[in-house]
Amino acid sequence: MADHATTAFKIMTPAQWTEFQRTGVFHGAPVDVADGYIHLSANDQVQGTLDKHFAGQPGLVIVEVDLAALGDVVRWEISRGGALFPHLYGLLPMTCVRGTRPA
């Protein structure tokens, strides 16, 4: 992971963020569960992810994730447009959240 950023971002709906805060663990959105990993975006990929998958959805929360704290359960894999995206093969604990901002 040395060649990649140590921070990535997860875009959550208000309900997902509320549940994450309540439980302290994010199990993934429906698409994450279906694909077998939690989709994350590097900083320069966030806007493209918002535009493609979340257009027009109000109240979204962008969660900043500490990839270094997650260790080897993060894999950078080819996805949209041939770019490498961080994928989390496990659960996301609240302890790995560095901060949030509105989308």
Class of the CATH-defined domain 7-102: alpha beta
Given a contact cutoff of 8 angstroms between Cβ atoms, the answer to whether 46 and 83 are in contact is no
Backbone angles phi, psi at 19, to 5 degrees: -65, -40
Residue 77 is predicted with a pLDDT of 95
Rg of the chain on CA atoms, in Å:
13
Tell whether the model's pLDDT for residue 3 goes beyond 80: no
What's the mean pLDDT in 72-90?
Answer: 94
- Which residues contact residue 56 at a Cβ distance below 8 angstroms, ignoring those fewer than 6 apart? none
Residue 80 is predicted with a pLDDT of 82
pLDDT digits (tens, 9 = 90+) for 21-61: 999 999 999 999 999 999 999 999 999 999 999 999 999 99
Cα–Cα distance for residue pair 82/58, rounded to 1 Å: 29
- What's the pTM value of the predicted model, to 2 decimals? 0.92
pLDDT digits (tens, 9 = 90+) for 7-20: 999 999 999 999 99
